[in-house]
Structures are given as C-alpha cells and as structure tokens.
Amino acid sequence: MTTGAPESGSPVEELLDLVRGLRAQLEWQRASFAFGMSGGEVVSEPEEAAPPSVVEEPPAPRPVAPRAPASLASTGPGAVTATAPLQVPTDPAERRRALEVLAETVRGCERCALHAGRKQTVFARGTGSSGVCFVGEGPGADEDAQGFPFVGAAGQLLDRMIAAMGLARDEVYVCNIVKCRPPRNRKPEPAEMEACRPYLAEQLELVAPRVIVALGATAVQGLLGTSEGITRLRGTWKLYRGRIPVMPTFHPAYLLRTPAAKREVWLDLQAVLRHLGLPVPTR
C-alpha cells in the first residue's frame, strides 16, 4: 500500500531536510538579533516553556497637559514627595536644557547610600526621537566607569536589539531605575529605588516617550510598583501613570545567560513596533 511518504534517502526527503534546516536558521536569526549564518552556534531550548502571553494593544494615550509627575508625590513606605510641581517646557530645546539641568542635579545627589561607592552617576543616553525609551535596572561596572547606561556586554546586546528593530542607537532613550551602581551589581533596594524615583519621573516627563520598554523585573517594579514576576508580565501591555504604554520584557543580561529567551523578546519588540506604526523587519 502506498502511504505517500517519501522514501528515506530519496531526493524528496533530502529536499524536505534542506527546507527544515533553512527554516530553523531563519528562526535562529530572528531570535538572536543577528543576521547571517550562525557559524554552528547551538541555541538550546528552555527546560520549561514560559506560559503563553496575550499581547493586547494598549489604548491610545490621550493628550495630557503638562503637569507634575504623580510619582514625585508617590505614596507608600519610603516615598519621596516633590517640593514644587514640575513645569514641562513645550519647546524641544528647552526640554533638552531641562534634562541637562536634571543630569547635573543627579551628579550631586546623596539621597541614598549608593552615592558613597560610585565613580560617577549614570543618567541616560540617546535622544528618544523614535518615541521609544528603554528602562533598565541600574549601572554596572562598565557604566559606572564610562558614565553611560548599557555600555557593557548587556548593552552591546541591547544595541543589536535596537538595530533589529530598524532603529538607530541614538534614536532611542535609555536610562535606569537607579543612577548609581549598587555594590557588586546587586539589585537596588526599595529605599534606593524610591530615592531615585523623582529623577526617573522627571526624565520620562521631559522625554515624553510614546512607548517604554521595561527591561527586567526591577525595571517593571520601579515603573509600575508591582512585584509580579517578569516571566508572567512580559509580552503584556501595561500603562505607566495611566497613559504611557509599557512593554515588559527580559533584561539583556538574562538573555546572555539564556539565549533561548531571545525569541520571546523579539516578539515583544515586534509588538512595540506595531504599536508605533513602524514596519517590522523581516530579515
């Protein structure tokens, strides 16, 4: 009886094997934020697949008149209250100047114990002209030495992620929850995050991103005040202060340890591009 299946070793079977190999290669390229042949690199599958996430488009943000950031008067333990409302300039040049003044203020900050061990503060990089802002956890040794966020190995991977989105490195705005390096690159403590919260809030008001990509659990906690795990949150739209869409995803440092998770991050970045109305690269 004829089953219709190609015989083992037949030209048809060899062609099917070739197609499967090419398909696997394309999947590797899409998930690794690199293009071209992999050179034999093997990307292992995760031991346990993360639960599927439902990506829902957030509501279009409504125009909001400039006002003081709500997080400048946040509630809860260790909250920092602003002494005066923030007046956000409407002129782009004035906003850039306001960011420079804020960066200078941060350079002299001694609100928490982290200032004692820093070489310098790490404020931000990029212009944010694309409407995209990446928020990470805090500076590491390389960032503490150079004064810019995401310049080490994780930063190099972030740059490849940005390039895979079809954006230039300087078109996005990149900052962290805390502006000083925690000892031994540990996670920032709640009091340290609260001390930096007014700076982050003012940054985001002045940059006015259309989308925030929260890199890792600490970034999500600092932005949204939730303690829910990043595996459950990633890929699902949230709102910062009720109006700026936030896409939680894995931190690049985690991707360096777990390359198989790059595919999930690429799905999250595709959702960001679609929300902005930008083309999704198919290379």
94 pLDDT tier (thresholds 50, 70, 90): very high
Single-letter amino acid code for the residue at 245: P
- The whole-number pLDDT of residue 22 equals 56
90 pLDDT tier (thresholds 50, 70, 90): confident
Average pLDDT over residues 76-92: 53
DSSP 168: -
Closest C-alpha among 170, 165, 153, 171 to residue 30? 165
For residue 144, pLDDT over 80 is answered with yes
Q: Which domain holds residue 209?
A: 90-283
- Looking at per-residue pLDDT, the higher value among 191 and 48 belongs to 191
Residue 249 in any domain: the answer is yes
- What does the pLDDT look like over 220-237, one tens digit per residue? 999 999 989 999 999 999
Considering its fold, how many domains does the chain have in total? 1
Measure the CA–CA gap between 282 and 26, rounded to whole angstroms. 10
Residue 76 in any domain: the answer is no
Average pLDDT over residues 123-129: 97
Average pLDDT over residues 24-51: 40
- The whole-number pLDDT of residue 87 equals 73
Single-letter amino acid code for the residue at 149: P
Measure the CA–CA gap between 246 and 91, rounded to whole angstroms. 25
Residue 68 in any domain: the answer is no
User: What CATH number is attached to the domain comprising 215?
Assistant: 3.40.470.10
